[in-house]
Chain A
Amino acid sequence: MELFRYAMSVYGQDQLLGANWDLIWWFGGAAAIYIVVDAACRPFLGKNKRKTLVNAPNDGATVRRHHLIDRLYHWAMAISVLTLIGTSFAPILDWKFEWVTAHWIAGVSLSLLVVYHIIRAAFWQDIWAMIVTPADFRVAFATARAALGRPDEAPLKPGKYVLLQKAYHWMIAALVLGLMVTGLTMWLKIDTPFWNRNPYILGDDMWGLVYTVHDFCAMSVLALTMIHVYFAIRPDKWWQNRSMFSGDIARKDYFAHHDVTRWAPDDV
């Protein structure tokens, strides 16, 4: 399987152009297989749920998980990313339409949103909520053991996010930052209402590299987004995921599923 696209350069040599687009099927396929396997195993793994200590009454009280501003950020970011995926991959897969303008507008929007998010996360949110710590691995181990039928005596509970969520966040963050850096550079190479294209800011080889990085990050984001949306709509996680819509989780779920020493929302 060829990983890259090449062309013959002015000098008659191979010149790197980008990723081989057949790989889209491999990235998409791998994500699809992951989803199918996970969905098929769930019913069996779920049988031996860890015992949970529920020390809050089921009284309808709630705990704020995502503030409105963070939900708005998530959804605006998600719309940008889905637009970027749609506008770039659909034409490659032969569904032709005018894609470039919509793509760069979504790309610039995403970039602004992410800059905003990083500033907010650094100064106004709890940065430790997303940082991976040894405790996350202990929780992940305990959860895996429990799923395989060996529930612990005293269950370990995670902070605000479990290891997989953190891993997903940082992978997506790295990929999106990669797409931003390469995408904004590519933006300078096309005509926009603000400037005329300048292809000379980089040499041919460097451009090849920029496109290749953009292409591979794009296909990875496609795969991760498929998996993320699957996890987001799984019914057994709805108690938590509804919070990206309403902002809240039930107070009883907070106590049942989270380590109160590691995640203390404002309203608890």
Chain B
Amino acid sequence: MIVKDVMPNFDLFQPKQLKDAFAILDKFGKDAWKMAGGNDSLAWFKDRAKRPKVVVDISGIAELKGVKETSDGGIEIGALTTLTELSKNPIVRAKYRVLADAASKVASPQIRNTGTLGGNAAQDARCWYYRYGLPCYRAGGNTCFADTPEGVNREHALFDTDRCVTVNPSDTAPALVALDAKFVVRGSKGERVLSAEQFFIGPKIDITHLTSIKPEEILVSIRIPKDWAGARFYFEKAAERNSWDFAMVNVAAAIVVSNGVVERSRIVCGAVSATPKRLPAVEDSIKGKALGDDIAKVAGQTATRGARPLNYNKYKIPLMANLVTRAVRDATA
């Protein structure tokens, strides 16, 4: 049986500079595992479900830490900024509250103290068949154990499945998408600035990864444009327990209202598909309208259109509808 007591051996590298990290990643390629706060990584190693030969602990790279304002009026958040720092940061709280709220809802204080924004956005799937180390599609195998008549798929996806039905479990991801964040990934060969659509990928495109970060690349920072600063925001996470637990569904909304009507909005649900699910139909349905109970209700109904529930996750449909309704109704500046 699978041994779950101690971690298998690996070579540990602890570079202090980005360029050294790139040199190590270039050398070991797919054999290397990047680790920031380690909250996701160490669980994989202890379960022996992932056995990298080399672990590159990037947590000592100072240039990847902190929040700074950019010349174009937005902010740039270093990938190693911890979730606690993020949730307390005065600029983030003042301008982009939805992100601070989302960060403060992740797991437990201990995990937020060490868990990084980069690691949270890049974290792997939580499908428990996959986490258990079974040879499913996501692990490079030929099947999905969750999408079967007997499969336990309460936590799984409503949308955009393709052979694999896992969801992206991150709480910060929907908030980042709502803020139209750009993801800066860098390797020795150069830098790519990715939109959320390019950064988060579903199983149709790549069944073994949730993001498009390449083995030799590191997510260095996340840029938030000024466009949504000070908008009306809403974040809510529905989980089974109030202490640390992953979202069954979460919602993040940024809504700009002018002259009493919605000028533009970005509304995003997490844990309903393998990428944070932006809801353009909902955004269209509220555009140009004054926010109120009726509009919010329609928005909720619109949100779940096209959902294809599995055996045990049908409850996610009303849950998602209600969360979107509340987001539209209760978003505040």
Segment touching A, from B8-16, B140-148, B186-194, B218-226: B140-148
* Distance from A168 Cβ to chain B, minimum over Cβ atoms (Å): 31
Q: B206 an interface residue at 8 Å Cβ cutoff?
A: yes
Task: Give the interface SS of chain A, mostly helix, strand, loop or mixed.
Answer: mixed
**Interface status of A88 (Cβ within 8 A of chain B):** no
Q: Does B201 contact A (CB under 8 A)?
A: yes
Mark the stretch among A77-85, A93-101, A119-127, A242-250 that contacts chain B: A93-101
Q: How far is the CA of A5 from the CA of B141 in the complex (A)?
A: 9
Q: Does A42 contact B (CB under 8 A)?
A: no
A44 to B218, CA, bound (A): 54
- The reply to whether A15 and B1 contact each other, CB–CB distance below 8 Å, is no
Are A97 and B205 interface neighbours, CB within 8 A? yes
A199's partner among B133, B143, B205 (CB-CB below 8 A) is B143
Q: B289 near A: Cβ within 8 Å?
A: no
**What residues of A have a CB within 8 angstroms of the CB of B135 in the complex?**
7-9, 15, 17
Interface of B is mostly: loop
Contact of B142 among A11, A100, A208 (CB under 8 A): A208
A237 CB to closest chain B CB (Å) equals: 41
Contact A12 B205 (CB under 8 A): no
Q: Is B6 an interface residue (CB 8 A)?
A: no
Considering the complex, give the chain A residue whose CB is closest to the CB of B139: A7
Q: Is the CB of A12 within 8 A of B2?
A: yes
Tell whether A211 is near chain B: CB-to-CB under 8 Å.
yes
Q: How large is the interface on B (under 10, 10 to 19, 20 to 34, 35 or more residues)?
A: 20 to 34
Bound-complex Cα distance A5 to B162 (A): 22
Known: A8-B2, A15-B135, A190-B163. A96 touches B201 (CB 8 A): yes
User: What residues of chain B lie closer than 8 Å to A204, measured between beta carbons?
Assistant: 143
Kindly report which residue of chain B lies nearest to residue A12, judged by CB atoms.
Answer: B1
B204 at interface (Cβ–Cβ under 8 A)?
Answer: yes
B298 an interface residue at 8 Å Cβ cutoff?
no
Annotate A191-214 by CB proximity to B: 1 below 8 A, 0 otherwise.
Answer: 100000101100010011001000
A96 to B134, CA, bound (A): 24
Tell me whether A18 is interfacial, beta carbon within 8 Å.
yes
Q: C-beta contact mask, B134-164 vs A, less than 8 Å → 1, else 0?
A: 1100011111100110000000000001110
Q: How far is the CB of A7 from chain B (nearest CB, A)?
A: 3
- Give the chain A neighbours of B204 by CB distance below 8 A: 98, 100
Given contacts A17-B135, A190-B163, A197 and B147 within 8 Å (CB-CB): yes
* B143 to chain A: closest residue by CB: A199
Expressed in whole angstroms, the Cα–Cα distance for A15 and B139 within the complex equals: 13
Is there contact, CB below 8 Å, between B133 and A8? yes
| Chain A residue contacts of B2, Cβ below 8 A | 8, 12
| Bound Cα distance A251, B250 (Å) | 74
Tell me the A63-104 residues at the B interface (CB within 8 Å): 91, 96-98, 100
User: What is the interface of chain B, defined by CB distance below 8 A to chain A?
Assistant: 1-2, 133-135, 139-144, 147-148, 161-163, 201, 204-206, 212
Interface pairs A-B: 3 shortest CB-CB = A7-B135, A98-B204, A96-B205
Beyond contacts A8-B2, A18-B142, A211-B142: 15 other A-B pairs, Cβ-Cβ < 8 A, are A7-B140, A9-B135, A12-B2, A15-B135, A17-B140, A17-B142, A96-B201, A96-B205, A98-B162, A98-B205, A100-B204, A189-B143, A197-B144, A199-B148, A208-B142
List 12 A–B pairs whose Cβ atoms lie within 8 Å, in order of A's numbering: A7-B139, A8-B2, A8-B135, A10-B134, A15-B135, A17-B140, A17-B142, A190-B163, A197-B163, A199-B144, A199-B148, A208-B142
